[in-house]
Amino acid sequence: MSTDIAFETHLDVEGESRLHQHLRHFWHPVAFSHDVSDDESVQGALMGERLAIWRHDGQIRVFRDLCRHRGASLALGRIDDGCIRCSYHGWAYDESGIVVDIPARPDLSGSLNVGVDSFPAVESAGIVWACLDAEPKFPVPELPVLDDASYTHLFYEPYEWRCSMARRLENYFDFSHFAHVHHGILGDRDDAVIADYEVRRVGGEVRIDAGPFLEFTDNPKNEGSAAAGETYEAWKRYRIFMPNTMLLHSSAGPDGQDYTLFVAVAPLAPRLARCFTIQSRNYALDKDKEFRDLQAVILEQDKPVVESQRPEELPDDLAAEMHVKGADAGTLEYRRWLIEISNGVYEQALAAEGN
């Protein structure tokens, strides 16, 4: 772990801009795979860049979404014989982004060595990921439980909050808010003590094992717990894939019930985050509606609080906010690492271990 970095202090517009320059070197979620059908294009965005995401023959491509002719959105175009063709005047770009057809001047077609930027793109965890740099620094997050036939998977509709990517993600492992913001569901404000827990770095991840957390039993997550309406002690394991994704495994009622939540957050702009959420479980397989309703309640409770946080980006000076020893250890480690990244240090942890 690097401790001798000369940190810049005081977050401001310049600080946000520096962080976002460095975030260009990492994978970010841009669409659910199932939302990009073959021979279709959709629009995405990352850090102020508009993106055209399209698929042909199963292969995904992510281009800068800006036609070189008159600046129209390529995502509005159509896929034509392996090319994306602009909807405005019909220029066609091949899979590497080069202009190969100009319908108004066919004699020029193929002779112009111009094109749009094509960004690295992969599919993992049911999501299309893109990187605005040629060489992504950390591995793309994976979600092996998607291949487990004994689980059901709920893909929530992506949503946007007016907050930074980091504030949004940190909210998931900010343990001491559970009892206050989610009183009666994920905690009890009259019993809000957080036990010390373990935090460590493994590869490109922060790992957290924490608990017990008092949760209530009269909600679908903890279905089948001994007595409805009473509290249940949940244990939670987190894998935080730096810098923008987390996978939570939580115990959920009777032994063997496994609840996982995978959340990937795209920084659309410094103060605008888009969230891609996949919830998997090996119980209550026919209760999607109940789980959707629960998610809606939790999000409505969190949203006003997270959007109210100032500064909108996490301070890149750790002394700018106060931290509670033990309770805030997870968010503090995430911040330390994010500050390293915003200072251009992209080191993964040496220690590697199994899941």
Contacting residues toward Fe ion, per CB under 5 A:
302
14's enclosing H/E stretch is helix 13-23
Nearer to Fe ion among residue 27 and residue 156 (C-beta) = 156
Question: Which residue lies nearer to ligand FES by CB, 75 or 208?
Answer: 75
The least CB distance from residue 98 to ligand FES, in Å, is: 14
The binder of 302, among Fe ion, ligand FES, none, by C-beta within 5 to 8 A per type, is Fe ion
List of residues 6+ apart from 31 with CB closer than 8 A = 42, 44, 53, 127, 128
Residue 126 tokens read as 């049911």
Binding site for ligand FES (CB under 6 A): 67, 69-70, 72, 86, 88-91
Among 237, 233, 239, 238, which residue's Cα sits nearest to residue 255? 233
- 91, interface contact from Fe ion, ligand FES, none, CB < 5-8 Å by kind: ligand FES
Whether 203 contacts 349, CB under 8 Å:
yes
Sign of CA dihedral 101, 102, 107, 109: negative
Is the Cβ of residue 60 or residue 248 nearer to Fe ion in the bound state? 248
- Pick the closer one to ligand FES by CB: 43 or 217: 43
**Which of Fe ion, ligand FES, none sits in contact with 89, Cβ below 5 to 8 A by type?**
ligand FES
| Minimum distance of ligand FES from residue 92's CB (angstroms) | 9
Q: Could you tell which of Fe ion, ligand FES, none binds residue 10, using a CB distance below 5 to 8 A set by kind?
A: none
CB 199 within 8 A of CB 339: no
70 makes contact, choosing from Fe ion, ligand FES, none, with CB < 5 to 8 Å by partner type, with ligand FES
- Nearer residue to ligand FES within complex by CB, 67 or 121: 67
Q: Which helix (H) or strand (E) holds 266?
A: strand 258-269
- Write out the H or E segment, with its range, that includes residue 168: helix 165-170
Nearest approach, Cβ of 70 to ligand FES (angstroms)? 3
Q: What is the DSSP letter of 292?
A: H
Copy the structure tokens of residue 189. Answer: 């404000």
Of the chain, the end-to-end C-alpha distance in Å amounts to 21
- CB 80, min distance to ligand FES, A: 13
- Least Å distance, CB 234 to Fe ion, is 14
Give me the least distance between CB of 73 and ligand FES, in Å please.
9
Residue 68: C-alpha distances to residues 85, 86, 91, 99, 106 (Å) = 12, 10, 9, 9, 17
Q: Identify what 18 binds: Fe ion, ligand FES, none; CB under 5 to 8 Å per kind.
A: none
In the complex with Fe ion, the residue whose CB is nearer, 302 or 340, is 302
